[in-house]
Structure 1
Amino acid sequence: MNEGPLSEVELYAFEGASGRFHLTPHEFDVEIGGQRYERCPLERSALALGAEAAKSALELRLPPDHALVRHLLQATLTGEATTVRLRVAQRADWDDAWWLSGTRWMGRVLGVEVADDSARIRCESAQVSLKRIGLRRLYSRACSHVLYSAACGATPISATAEVIRSEGRQVELASLPPEVAGMLAGGWLQTPAGARHMIVSESTEGVELLYPVGLAPQTLVDLVAGCDHSVSTCAARFNNLDNYGGFPFIPTKNPFSTGVF
């Protein structure tokens, strides 16, 4: 018996830490191995052919009110990465079962743009992502650790204060707790709801925030000490010099340009 022609469908899998979406651009749902790919009016850009096919970018368009669009917009706020895999499934004319025949493209979502009539999802190939220079730590005299992070390891210094009034970026306090007095620049003010607002400077009357915040009188807030990432502050304020992440003793003269000294 001669085999009949095969029909082919495209399957899209979007996977992130907080959500997964399995879609197909066809007018019917496709189920393979217990996984259902829901139909969606999804359009894609043309893929390059030849040796550069795996490196080509992918652009998708779908309705702006789709759940995937809402998920990707939320992911941009949290920094969550979403991978994309475009697979191909086939079936014979005499059989209703679909089977995966290969992967046509794989990568990750770069961003999403929403318009009145459609949403555009820009995707980058996995090969391009792997060849991109990743995050790296640079040498500097100042410490590069994020304050109170796992790499920093410092014990937070905090105290509670009562708000008298707030006007713009200025927050007047009933009194400045002595535990954090003189240490608040670069720290933050935390509200009872858990919101953190960076402190730019302090005075005897209160603190100045990075941006305006409305706080009701008699609100109790937490004041957390900051750090200027210097050796002296790390040692005197936090007694944390063992975890200092800077290189304060880098020579000021370059021997390759000034000669031996």
Structure 2
Amino acid sequence: MSDVEIYTVTYDFNRWRYTSADENVYVEPVTFRAVPITRSNIELSTDETGASFTVSFPLDAEFLELFRVSPPSGLVTLLCEKFDVESGQTVEIVFKGRIVNVTWQEDHAEVTCESSSQAIRRMGLRRHYQYGCPHMLFGGECRVDREQFVTVGNATNLTNIGFDLLEAAGKDDGYYAGGYVEYMHSELQTTERIAVAESEGASGRITLFSFPIGLVAGAEVRLYAGCDRTLQTCAGKFNNAENYGGMPFIPTKDPFGGDPLY
């Protein structure tokens, strides 16, 4: 055994290390666990959405738990390196990018990745004329301080897509819709975020868009107010009309419609 491939999967501050070699590989000061791994060749394509890199992992690979129900809220990256065991040096970086999908098979999981350069080449979002605000809630363009609109408490009555929060009771129905909940994963100790679909003011019931993986009853959650991206909500709820990003006064009547009384 001379040149072997080693794989590092990273999520938040968690790292999982594997190798396709026949035995564990020690790279000071960590060990890469030997597991049956196969991979595709790296595709080169002029189409920024066409290239991909697929790796087959056994079903007991620890990081796969992140994708067991739905993808995690944060970025999961994969680094594949060719390592020379005799010299103890990295020969080359085979692949570096992020995991975009996991497909479950009977005896293994197919992990599809895209390279960092591929992600950079992809065309980003363009801003259009629109009535609603396009800014990310609490982001740099929105400028609302999220800590002014957070409710902290302990989640109870967990179901597949929701929980109760006593501290959220008394707010208007839908107050948290369009916002998100933030909590600590009970096993990985990573910060997870899930968007809120609905909220009930009378009961404090919070309905999410996906299953809250790693959330356990009694755990502390931070619940942030939502926005429906209208000027009325921006001004009345957040007192932030001066940073509203939509165009609410676009005429609804077509000036080229042939009506002489425009």
Tell me the TM-score normalised to structure 2 length: 0.59
Letter in 1 for 2:174: G
Match of 1:231 in 2: 231
Could you tell me which residue of structure 2 aligns to residue 22 of structure 1?
17
The letter of the residue matching 1:90 is D
Distance 2:225 2:12 in 1: 33
Partner Cα separation in structure 2 for residue 105 and residue 86 of structure 1: 5
Q: Distance in 2 between matches of 1:229 and 1:121?
A: 36
SS state at 2:248 partner: coil
2: CA distance, partners of 1:257 / 1:100: 67
The change in CA–CA distance for 1:257 and 1:26 in structure 2 (over 3 A counts) is farther
One of 34, 53, 65 as aligned partner of 1:58: 53
- After TM superposition, give the deviation of residue 44 of structure 1 in Å: 1.0
Aligned ranges for residues 1-261 of structure 1 at < 5 Å?
A: 7-48=2-43, 56-73=51-68, 76-90=70-84, 96-145=86-135, 151=142, 153=144, 156=149, 184-188=172-176, 198-199=198-199, 228-236=228-236, 238-251=238-251
1:148–1:156: 8 Å Cα contact kept in structure 2?
A: no
| Structure 2: runs of 5 or more not aligned | 152-168, 178-182, 184-193, 209-223
Deviations along 1:76-123, one digit per CA (max 9) or x if unpaired, are 5432212222211225xxxx4432111122221111122331111111
Contact 2:36 2:58 in 1 (8 A): yes
Aligned length: 208
Instruction: Please tell me the root mean square deviation across aligned C-alpha atoms, in Å.
Output: 4.4
* 1:234 shift after superposition: 3.7
Q: 1:13, 1:227 → 2: CA distance? A: 38
Q: Judge which range, 17-26 or 130-139, deviates more.
A: 130-139
TM-superposed CA distance for 1:26, in Å, is: 0.8
The 1:113–1:49 alpha-carbon spacing in structure 2 relative to 1, beyond 3 Å, is: closer
SS of 2:245's equivalent in the other structure is coil
* Matched-pair contact (CA < 8 Å) for 2:58–2:108: yes
Q: Which amino acid aligns with 1:43?
A: T
Computing the radius of gyration over CA atoms, which structure comes out larger, 1 or 2?
1
- Partner Cα distance (1:34, 1:71) in 2: 25
Q: Over residues 164-191 of structure 1, what are the superposed CA-to-partner deviations in whole Å (9 max), with x where a residue is unaligned?
A: xxxxxxxxxxxx96xx6xxx353249xx
Q: Which has the higher helix share?
A: 1
Structure 1 vs Structure 2: percent identity of aligned residues? 26
Structure 1, unaligned runs of 5 or more: 1-5, 159-175, 213-223
Amino acid at match of 2:144: G
How far apart, CA to CA, are the structure 2 residues paired with 1:23 and 1:238?
48
